[in-house]
């Protein structure tokens, strides 16, 4: 009768801490799996919010750790993320030791929902580690000690009746041997502990240096990307502006307009200050950084509309309940208005001149007498 042998699966990464399985529970039901997913934001804050990772536990203490439907990280970066998982605190869960800080999810769904799982890891008690360490120590005993130990063994296996003086001498030798062996063992432990500390320190220093280099590269790339981003936005705005010059003006809609000067003061942020401000804001949840920065450069203008009938200007004052015709005209404009305190307002990055030119293109008209009534600075 042949014995069936299962083929082992060796993963891409080998972890210092052995990953055993994923476990979960719902009521009295237990769930066990060898693979699960986790969102990158729980592992690192370095732009991994939209990245999902799949962790598969393989044989011989190895794992596979890969992105799901994206390709933003390198093998080295994923290896570092695995180290972060190993550094997390472990706690008992249903007679197992698990990484309780990280929310893994099952690959398969149960009743239409994915199951919350914990990563179960192999846990070795500190006292067990020390015992294993001591067991592997090599205590050196010279020939003198060997002879003394041999004499001690002869004493233990010899005649029970010995001369009193001889017995006292052998007991003294026995105590001396014990003390020397214990002292040698103690020194050996100290030397090995110091060696372990030095090795661990060197390892941590090496990791720190690598992380510093990664931070330098990320900050450099962020600076270059931010500069290119602003340059691209500026080019887009310029191209939009140039394209608008080729657009034909709409038919006159019968409304005369006046655009007020800016009702607020805009602020031109220094590039260095903007970078600092953006870095601070990214740490605050619920804030759209780009929209917040735009608030400094946005101007606010009040727009007054009227119709000229028999030489008289009939101003539109009830914007909260405007007629359907005016609603349609405003909705077809190239930029958006808003109503505040029953006044028509514009808030955005367009200058006073750009707003005026766009309104003329949208079919509105200007009238110098209306501008005088509105208190224009030109008169």
Q: Is 6 inside a domain boundary? A: no
Which residues span the domain enclosing 264? 256-373
pLDDT digits over 190-200, tens only? 777 888 888 88
Q: Is 170 inside a domain boundary? A: yes
pLDDT digits over 140-168, tens only? 445 555 455 455 445 444 444 334 444 44
State which of 70, 89, 123 marks the end of a domain.
123
Q: Is 319 inside a domain boundary? A: yes
pLDDT at 22 (0 to 100): 93
State which of 227, 246, 265 marks the end of a domain.
246
**Is 109 in the same domain as 33?**
yes
**Is 89 in the same domain as 129?**
no
What's the number of domains the chain is made of?
Answer: 3
**Is 117 in the same domain as 133?**
no
pLDDT digits over 231-272, tens only? 888 788 778 767 766 767 788 999 999 999 988 776 666 667
**Is 217 in the same domain as 284?**
no
| pTM exceeds 0.85 | no
**Is 135 in the same domain as 237?**
yes
**Is 130 in the same domain as 238?**
yes
Mean pLDDT of the chain, nearest integer: 78
**Is 181 in the same domain as 159?**
yes
Residue 352 near residue 292, CB atoms below 8 Å: no
State which of 246, 279, 297 marks the end of a domain.
246
Q: Is 1 inside a domain boundary? A: no
**Is 260 in the same domain as 213?**
no
């Amino acid at each position: 009768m042949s014995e069936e042998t299962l083929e082992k699966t060796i993963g891409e990464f080998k972890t210092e801490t052995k990953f055993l399985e994923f476990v979960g529970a719902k009521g009295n039901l237990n769930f066990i799996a060898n693979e699960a997913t986790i969102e990158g934001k729980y592992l690192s804050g370095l732009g991994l919010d939209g990245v999902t990772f799949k962790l598969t536990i393989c044989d011989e203490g190895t794992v596979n750790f890969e992105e799901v439907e994206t390709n933003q990280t390198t093998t080295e970066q994923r290896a570092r993320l695995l180290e972060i998982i190993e550094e997390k605190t472990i706690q008992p869960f249903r007679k197992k030791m698990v990484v309780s800080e990280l929310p893994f999810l099952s690959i398969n769904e149960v009743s239409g929902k994915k199951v919350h799982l914990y990563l179960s890891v192999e846990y070795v008690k500190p006292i067990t580690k020390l015992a294993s360490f001591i067991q592997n120590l090599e205590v050196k005993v010279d020939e003198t000690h060997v002879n003394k130990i041999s004499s001690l063994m002869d004493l233990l296996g010899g005649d029970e009746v010995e001369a009193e003086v001889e017995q006292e001498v052998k007991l003294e030798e026995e105590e001396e041997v014990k003390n020397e062996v214990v002292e040698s063992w103690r020194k050996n432990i100290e030397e090995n502990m110091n060696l372990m500390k030095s090795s661990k320190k060197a390892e941590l220093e090496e990791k720190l240096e690598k992380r510093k280099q990664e931070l330098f590269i990320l900050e450099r790339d962020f600076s270059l990307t931010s500069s290119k981003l602003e340059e691209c936005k500026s080019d887009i705005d310029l191209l939009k502006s140039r394209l608008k010059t080729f657009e034909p003006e709409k038919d006159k809609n019968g409304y005369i307009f006046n655009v007020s000067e800016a009702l607020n003061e805009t602020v031109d942020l220094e590039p260095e200050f903007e970078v600092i401000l953006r870095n601070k804001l990214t740490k605050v949840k619920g804030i759209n950084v780009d929209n917040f920065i735009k608030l400094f450069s946005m101007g606010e203008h009040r727009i007054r509309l009227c119709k000229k009938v028999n030489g008289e200007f009939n101003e539109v004052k009830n914007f909260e309940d405007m007629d359907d015709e005016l609603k349609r005209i405003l909705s077809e404009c190239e930029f958006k208005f808003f109503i505040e305190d029953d006044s028509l307002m514009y808030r955005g990055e367009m200058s006073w001149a750009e707003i005026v030119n766009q309104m003329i293109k949208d079919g509105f008209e200007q009238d110098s007498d209306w501008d005088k009534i509105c208190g224009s600075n030109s008169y």
